[in-house]
Amino acid sequence: AQSVAQPEDQVNVAEGNPLTVKCTYSVSGNPYLFWYVQYPNRGLQFLLKYITGDNLVKGSYGFEAEFNKSQTSFHLKKPSALVSDSALYFCAVRDRDGNNRLAFGKGNQVVVIP
């Protein structure tokens, strides 16, 4: 069964500094990988996905993520964090069979300090 680990509960970063949110996954075969962001009392918003091809994926709001097959990781990055990036971030994975089920990590709270 597929699974995701997001090892840190909270990530604190100063505004303007680089932001990294870590994600490792477990899946049989090649994965589809996704990052979502959630603001308080809202649904999840899609940020970016890795399907195939270039290991560096660029997404919305200046975010990017790097797929590393040997380390089974898909860390989310942003070169310069904004206060408005403070939110809950979820990594998700699914395998390539036909059931379209996602496995989500428990989420990381990001706090950007002005």
Partner 1 sequence: DGGITQSPKYLFRKEGQNVTLSCEQNLNHDAMYWYRQDPGQGLRLIYYSQIVNDFQKGDIAEGYSVSREKKESFPLTVTSAQKNPTAFYLCASTRLGNQPQHFGDGTRLSIL
Q: Which is nearer to partner 1, 14 or 51 (CB)?
A: 51
Site for partner 1 contains 107 (CB under 8 A)? yes
Q: Which is nearer to partner 1, 13 or 48 (CB)?
A: 48
Site for partner 1 contains 61 (CB under 8 A)? no
**DSSP assignment of 39-66, as one string?**
-TTS-EEEEEEE-SS-SEEE-GGG-EEE
Residue with token string 């049989």: 28
The distance of closest approach from Cβ of residue 15 to partner 1 in the complex, given in angstroms and rounded to an integer, is 26
**Which of 114, 100, 104, 112 is closest to 34 using CA atoms?**
104
Return the structure tokens found at 90.
């979820």
Report d(CA 47, CA 59) in Å as an integer. 6
Site for partner 1 contains 104 (CB under 8 A)? yes
Return the structure tokens found at 78.
């942003």
Binding residues with partner 1: total (CB under 8 A)? 22
Site for partner 1 contains 69 (CB under 8 A)? no
Q: Which is nearer to partner 1, 22 or 49 (CB)?
A: 49
Name which position in 25, 34, 67, 74 contacts partner 1 (CB under 8 A): 34
Strands 108-113 and 10-14 come out as parallel
**What residues line the site for partner 1 (CB under 8 A)?**
9, 32, 34, 36, 41-46, 49, 51, 90, 98-102, 104-107
